[in-house]
Chains A and B, each alone.
Chain A
Amino acid sequence: MARLLAGLHQTWRRSLQVRVVTITLVTSSLLVGGFAYLIADKITSILLENAKTDVQLRLLNGAEYAAKQFSLYGQPQEAQLQETIDGTVNYLAGGDPQQNSGVVVALTAENWPGVIEPRTSPAANVRPLISPELRAAVAGGNVANQIRTGRLTGDVERKYLVYGSPVPTRFGQVELYYFVPLTLQDTTAAQARATVVATGVALVLLLGLLAALVTRLVVIPVRVAARTAQRLSAGLLDQRMAVNGEDDLALLAASFNQMATNLQRQILRLEEMSRLQRRFTSDVSHELRTPLTTVRMAADLIFAERDGFDPAVARSAELLQAELDRFEELLTDLLEISRFDAGFAVLDAEPTDLVPVVHRVVDRLSGLAERVGVAIELDVPATPVIAEIDPRRVERVLRNLVGNAVEHGEGRPVWITLGMDETAVALTVRDHGVGLKPGEEKLVFNRFWRADPSRARQTGGTGLGLSISLEDARLHGGWLEAWGAPGQGAQFRLTLPARAGDRLTTSPLRLVPADATLPFGGAPAGGLLAIGPGPNGTLAVGPAAPPPRAEVGS
């Protein structure tokens, strides 16, 4: 049942045709139903009114006749009165009961029970059909009528129009009743009703059908347009709609087609431009390598011979050597980036234990760390952390992250944490440097982005490291995210699927470090409320803000 309801709901939401047809059916049903009711009611009341008018005329004539007949008698005990009552009733009933179509005439004398016998023609027990209210009304000297159902003549129950009138006599009042069967009126009303209902239902169905047809005429091109748009968005840029006729829908199709053509042209042009740009970068990098190699060889020679040079020249040779290193590095990164852009990067995944990778990176950077006085603290599980990864790329990402942390650590320790669960492995690198301003969590991954453009590069960063790391993580189907707060340092988290090609849903480690002081309105991941220092040293409670996370989808 619930499924049926859900299905109905879904159909309702999805199908314009169903909605239009349903609304048409409902409104037309209400309208037609209302009209049908009015018409049928009118027909019935007209039939009933006519019957009443007829019977009333008969009744009043009958009462007049009966009054004349009874005016001959001064006392209810008189001998021939009963005979006259019989005769009058028979006369008013029209004699032959076969021919009076079931009309029953009755004369009663409420005031003379036992003296005057009530009479009916044809013989029938009319007592049950005269309700006490009607009897009271007629006995009170009124002409009154009522519809009752009962059995008078024959075996079937029929509806009777019971009409009563007082008949004045010299000795008081007797009552004349007519019982006229409403069979004919009932049948006619039923037929009229059936006709009206049939017409109404047919009309409603017709309207529904019409609505369905019209909607179908509109909906089908719209569906075609939707499908075409879907295909277009899926990259099938040569999809077009068929244009039939010259109506609004044809105009839509034509416009749609024009839009698609324009889009296709634009996209192709942009693609071409992008391809040219990437080619250019790659080509430039390659073309620079050859002269660089030559320059390098020359510079190496000069550097090796620097002791023999004037100290100022020797210093220049050292500078040349250093800048050439940076240039080479930059060129390498550019080539790497252009490989990613060109889509030539290939993941060379194999099950690898991440712990030695971490150790290797830390060992390699320990020299630098000692030089700037930064301690690197490791939190690595004792057991191997095996994941299907490309160790070269992961090591490059790690080197990049740890290098950045050491570089921006400002002498404070850098923490590296490795964690895993069934589906993913994660690695966080935490520094306690100046931190990141709000909004910078995403910017850090941009190419050549700098927190402070005026700040000179102390270390030989190219500005492409994090971009490449992000591309590497993406290549794995993993995430590379950053967190930072001013004055509290920053933390980067790399999350990779344990099996290559799996889709990530959660990370084993938290992005926001546990020791982070919550900024105003901030909340730790997973928390809903955050308590933090408010203005003037008070505590402030605020809603948890979404964690700054740079999500990288596969």
Chain B
Amino acid sequence: MRRRLLTGVLGGTLAVAVTAGCGIPDRSEVQIEQRGPAAETNLSLGRGTEPPTREAAGSDAEAFVRNFLAAAAGEPDRAYERVKRFITTTDRAGLQEKQGSEVALSVVRLTDDPVIEPDVDSMKVTITVQQVGLLRANGLLAPPLTTESRYEFRLVSAGPAGEDEAGFYVSSPPNVLLLSDDALRRYYQSKSIYFWSSDRSRLVPDQRYLSSVVPAERRVSEVVRWLTAGPSDWLRVGVSGLPDRTEMINNATGSDGRWEVNLDMPGVDEQRLEQLSTQLAWSLPELDGTLEIKILNQSRKVVDLGEQRRLNQLYEIDPNTRRYCVYEGAIHSLAVANEPAGLVPVAAEVNRDIVTAGLRRAGEEVLAALVVTGEDGRQRLAVGRGRSVVESLLRSSTTHAAIGRPAWIGTDGGRPAGLVVADGSLYRFDDQASMRQVPLGLPGRVSAVAAALDGQRVALVVDGALYVAAINWEAGVPAVGPARRLVTSLTNVTAVEWWAENRLLVAGAVGRPSIYDVSVDGALETPLREDTGSQVNHLAAYPTTQLSPLAGSFMYEANGVAYRLNPFERINRDQVQDVTPPPAGARPGDPTAPIFLY
């Protein structure tokens, strides 16, 4: 018994000692291992212009109003906060806040200067505007939802009565975040991001606005977020976004030319990665270093952005473009300034009865779509292709009273196709010159069509209004998707031409016939020629995509006379090459329908 007792006691002691002695403690002392990484505060981030503060305008009421219309610019999360600083404390609650991605700024274009009328103890401000669009949190300018054209609010002095130095407050503000197009231009950068077309054959640019306060380090993240969020609505029919549920994991990070993007991208494969690399390389044109693409934390691809861009050109475009015009029913080359004159791409035997022409190079070939006048005075489309010179033409079976300038789309790969306006309707044609009407879903007369260089977007003029639409290729046949109407200052638009990735050359009237440079969403516009004298019915531009001596050049025809910019100059008959001088006494004709071949 004694032995058993003893054993029990010893065993118990042993167990207790071991159990109590060497388990993981409930709580231990703080163990300091090493110095952690130290904070580095040396780098100051390059920040763009901040929107003005309330006090910036001082006692200038009109400047204050303009600043108020710029207050929402910047990062969308704090837009309400910034705007509320302009508003009297009592009225701040009246501005209903939206959260996160719901935040949208109403971009308006002031059609007149603000009307400021002094009142008893405040000033009444009336602004008349044109609703341009809705700038969403993701940098996308969506079509406007309202048509409101007047906003009224009051200004109260921030200081004691009679003293204006303290500036103003806005009282009874409109219940939206207003952003003037000036502010959009000043505090945002227009950026192009690229999506693959539906057939994944080419990149299609899409426009976004990046607040200039976003530091350079975060721009990569922003661009990748835009890409994962998908294209603009009007582009959706023609392009494909990244796979569904693609998301960026946290931020893209990096510095010194090394960047890193971590994505959650279902169904990714090597081809998709390669395409994504190209997409990123072009969407981040200012970056030249390397970009490491990680999929779910796994490093999958390291892209040299510059190299990627070099290997995957956006467009095949001939930098040695040449100018041509129609002179006395035939295409002639133009010699402007010191530019060399080109070879006429249409053989002499078919180079007659031409009204207007659409010419494009497709690889080694030249595509020519010519509008020719028949003996009956009716016009038909003649299409031909050939190496440097088109020898023969196929004529369309139908005739029309008037056919506009043809526009080639889809010139690379597959059968070339084009769009043309005939008798107020949009037609497509192919290299066999067969014309088929394209349903637009818009009532009204189509008067002009222009195709973007990527061949996936077109600009249309319908009933004097400007539209853009995406092209959806179905089995090699182009269909035009839902059109988006652009709000511009121009009325009665007569001609349109793409002259940059996201910029249109538009001829219309702002009081008098003018030519404007309009962004593809209509928000930004720049007058290029404010008085053309008479209505412009023909525009031709050389697309600004890369460095070229002709970048930014365009030509137009108004009242049967051709002009060119820049510099502005009337194109004279003597600049037309290979013409026989007219018989003496006969009034020489003017060159018309100027055109670039690229």
Contact = CB atoms under 8 A, between A and B. Distances in A.
B37 A63 contact: yes
A72 B29 contact: no
A489 interface: no
Given A37-B22, A193-B19, A205-B7, A74 B33 contact: no
B256 to A, nearest CB: 12
Q: Which of B28, B41, B78, B250 has the most C-beta atoms of chain A within 10 angstroms of its own C-beta?
A: B250
Interface in A1-48: 8, 11, 18, 21-22, 25-26, 29, 32-33, 36-37, 40-41, 43-44, 47-48
A26 B250 contact: no
B3 A71 contact: no
B32 A144 contact: yes
B250 A87 contact: yes
Given A72-B253, A143-B36, A149 B14 contact: no
Interface string A84-126: 1001100100000000000000000000000000000000000
B6 interface: yes
A91 B31 contact: no
A296 interface: no
A33 B17 contact: yes
A48 B24 contact: yes
Contacts of A133: 30
Given A74-B215, A169-B39, A189-B23, A69 B250 contact: yes
Contacts of A142: 32-36
A208 interface: yes
A166 B36 contact: yes
Contacts of B33: 56, 142-145
A292 interface: no
A47 B22 CA distance: 12
Interface string B440-481: 000000000000000000000000000000000000000000
Interface residues of A, number: 73
Interface in B104-131: none
A88 B33 CA distance: 24
A186 B30 contact: no
A518 interface: no
A138 interface: yes
A32 B40 CA distance: 55
Interface residues of B, number: 52
Interface string B252-271: 01110000100000000000
A509 interface: no
Contact of A26 (B10, B217, B218, B255): B10
A146 interface: yes
Given A72-B253, A87-B250, A166-B37, A201 B31 contact: no
Given A36-B18, A193-B22, A208-B7, A146 B29 contact: yes
A204 B26 contact: no
A197 interface: yes
A212 B33 CA distance: 53
Contacts of B28: 146-147
Contact of A197 (B15, B30, B75): B15
A40 B24 CA distance: 11
B25 interface: yes
A136 B3 CA distance: 55
A212 B43 CA distance: 80
B13 A84 contact: no
A173 B37 CA distance: 10
Contact of A204 (B10, B34, B47): B10
Interface of B: 2-3, 6-7, 10-11, 13-15, 17-19, 21-41, 43-45, 47, 75-78, 215, 217-218, 221, 249-251, 253-255, 260
Interface of A: 8, 11, 18, 21-22, 25-26, 29, 32-33, 36-37, 40-41, 43-44, 47-48, 56, 63-64, 67-69, 71-74, 78-80, 84, 87-88, 91, 131, 133-134, 137-138, 141-149, 159, 165-173, 182, 185-186, 189-190, 193, 196-197, 200-201, 204-205, 208, 212
8 contacts: A72-B217, A72-B251, A131-B30, A146-B30, A168-B36, A168-B38, A196-B18, A201-B14
Given A44-B22, A80-B251, A205-B11, 10 more contacts: A25-B10, A36-B14, A40-B22, A63-B36, A72-B221, A73-B218, A87-B251, A144-B31, A168-B37, A200-B18
**A-B interface, 7 closest residue pairs, ranked by CB to CB distance from nearest:** A79-B77, A168-B39, A166-B36, A41-B22, A68-B253, A147-B28, A29-B10
